[in-house]
């Protein structure tokens, strides 16, 4: 029997994502000037106020207030009528030094023997459903909001958009788990005030259906385009007026959108957030490493879908377990347990090895903090950072290294393909 599956996304202007982006901007600035910085930074945003809290061990000094303001302005909160803007909001910092009790479990005389920064389990997932090996409902939800942000910045076809927005996509699947059609799309977008509410709602609905969605569809491969049809149920700003939004409408906190950040409810999640954490925290680094494994396994043809779990104990070098579920999609005469053993032999999952393999000590994290940490394009960009005393540094930074298909040949060789 056919079934429905739904995933959601939130924009860079969503209050929780504002918090994530500020936390990751701090991570990047610490790593730019001291690549061995240990940082766990949380952000709270609300009406006219930003609160930074967390623990840091670093040899650099930053103007955290300026970093927070620059991030907020870049997102688009630049007007006083938003009741939250980068130039006038208060920024309070309660960041202090990292606990030595935690640090002694991580730092070792030999970098290779670095212990895990915490206990817990992390999951990586990949599916052949899309070209980027991501679940389709989440991929489309992200695409809708990225395109909406493009329209907002262009300020041509749609001129009333404000930064806060959410999307949701429901897909109908066949019994053999193949997407058949788009069943429903939800878009809620913050907007400027209008004189007539009914006229406003009608215009927003028309613009989303007639301008935004066609732009999204045009950028999709043909086999995904055909899933869109005239029978899609659209819910556009279903509560009506959405003028009050962003941190003024809803308090935002770092780490509250972990399903949006990963696989949209497909696969599994260990519960640990990513943003605001340096890569010694396996919540982040091991989640990237398991995604890297999962994507390379599917790309190598070992299976059509895979979930990879790894677990750690704080201060312990080797993982406590590695688990694999291929959902019955492996065409070879090999069990998931045997696949897990081969993965253990191919991929070194010690924390320091993960950092090295994926080059995680770069200032690469601001770009991850909106529109998902997974399924993005691996690319190299130039980034410039400044310190309060005037020192400026420009670095070439590799982004989304865990999305590379650089282990496919090694995987094929290990499986005799």
Q: Is 111 part of any known ligand binding site?
A: no
Closest CA to 126 of 405, 412, 417: 405
Q: Which residue has the tokens 């406003």?
A: 200
From residue 89, alpha-carbon distances to 84, 86, 119 in Å are 6, 6, 36
Task: State CA 143 to chain mean position distance.
Answer: 13
Q: Is 256 part of any known ligand binding site?
A: yes
Q: Is 250 part of any known ligand binding site?
A: yes
Cβ atoms 212, 267 nearer than 8 A: no
176 SS3 class = coil
Q: Is 359 part of any known ligand binding site?
A: no
From residue 375, alpha-carbon distances to 186, 215, 288, 294, 379 in Å are 21, 20, 11, 12, 12
Q: Is 98 part of any known ligand binding site?
A: yes
Half-sphere exposure of 299 (CA within 13 A, CB side): 20
Closest CA to 55 of 34, 37, 44, 41: 41
CB atoms inside a 10 Å sphere around CB 225:
12
92 SS3 class = strand
DSSP β-bridge partners for residue 393? 385
State phi, psi for 87 to the nearest 5 degrees. Answer: -80, -25
Q: Can you tell me the distance from the alpha carbon of 73 to that of 89, in angstroms, rounded to the nearest whole number?
A: 11
Task: Quote the DSSP letter at residue 80.
Answer: G
Q: Is 396 part of any known ligand binding site?
A: no
Q: Can you tell me the distance from the alpha carbon of 255 to that of 275, in angstroms, rounded to the nearest whole number?
A: 6
Q: Is 66 part of any known ligand binding site?
A: no
Q: Is 165 part of any known ligand binding site?
A: yes
383: exposed, middle or buried (Cβ count in 10 Å: 0-12, 13-18, 19+):
middle
Q: Is 278 part of any known ligand binding site?
A: no
Q: Is 55 part of any known ligand binding site?
A: yes
177 φψ region: left (φ > 0), alpha (ψ -120 to 50), beta (else): left
Q: Is 16 part of any known ligand binding site?
A: yes
- Sign of the CA dihedral running 365, 213, 204, 139: negative
Q: Is 382 part of any known ligand binding site?
A: no
Annotated binding site: 14, 16, 42, 55, 98, 164-166, 241-242, 250, 256-257, 273, 277, 281
Which residues are documented as binding site for L-methionine? 55, 98, 250, 281
Q: Which residues are annotated as a binding site for ATP?
A: 14, 164-166, 241-242, 250, 256-257, 273, 277
Residues annotated in the binding site for Mg(2+), as ranges?
16
């Amino acid at each position: 029997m056919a079934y429905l599956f739904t995933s959601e996304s939130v924009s860079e202007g969503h209050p929780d994502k504002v918090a994530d982006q500020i936390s990751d901007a701090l991570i990047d600035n610490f790593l730019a000037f001291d690549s061995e910085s240990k940082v766990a930074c949380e952000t709270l945003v609300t009406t006219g106020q930003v609160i930074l809290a967390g623990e840091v061990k670093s040899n650099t000094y930053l103007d955290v207030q300026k970093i927070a303001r620059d991030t907020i302005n870049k997102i688009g909160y630049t007007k006083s009528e938003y009741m939250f803007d980068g130039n006038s909001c208060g920024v309070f910092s309660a960041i202090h030094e990292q606990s030595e009790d935690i640090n002694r479990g991580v730092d070792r005389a030999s970098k290779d023997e670095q212990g895990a920064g915490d206990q817990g389990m992390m999951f990586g997932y990949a599916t052949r459903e899309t070209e980027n090996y991501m679940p389709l409902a989440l991929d489309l939800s992200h695409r809708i909001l990225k395109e909406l942000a493009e329209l907002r910045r262009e300020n041509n076809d749609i001129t009333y958009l404000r930064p806060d927005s959410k999307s949701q996509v429901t897909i109908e699947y066949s019994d053999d788990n193949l997407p058949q059609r788009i069943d429903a799309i939800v878009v809620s977008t913050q907007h400027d005030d209008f004189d007539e509410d009914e006229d406003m709602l009608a215009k927003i609905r028309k613009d989303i259906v007639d301008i935004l969605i066609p732009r999204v569809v045009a950028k999709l491969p043909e086999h995904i385009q055909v899933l869109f049809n005239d029978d899609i149920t659209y819910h556009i700003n279903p509560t009506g007026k959405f003028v009050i939004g962003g941190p003024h409408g809803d308090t935002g906190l770092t780490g509250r959108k972990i399903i949006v950040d990963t696989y949209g409810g497909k696969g599994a999640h260990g519960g640990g957030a990513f943003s605001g954490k340096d890569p010694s925290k396996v919540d982040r680094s091991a989640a990237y490493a398991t995604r890297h494994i999962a994507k390379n396994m599917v790309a190598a043809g070992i299976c059509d879908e895979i979930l990879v779990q790894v677990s750690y104990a704080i201060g312990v070098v080797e993982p406590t377990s590695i688990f694999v579920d291929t959902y019955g999609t492996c065409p070879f005469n090999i069990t998931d347990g045997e696949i897990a053993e081969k993965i253990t032999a191919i991929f070194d999952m010690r924390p320091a090895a993960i950092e090295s393999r994926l080059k995680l000590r770069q200032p690469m994290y601001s770009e991850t903090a909106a529109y998902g940490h997974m399924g993005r394009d691996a690319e190299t960009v130039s980034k410039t950072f400044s310190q309060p005393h005037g020192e400026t540094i420009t670095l070439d930074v590799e982004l989304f290294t865990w999305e590379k298909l650089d282990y496919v040949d090694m995987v094929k060789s290990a499986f005799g393909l």
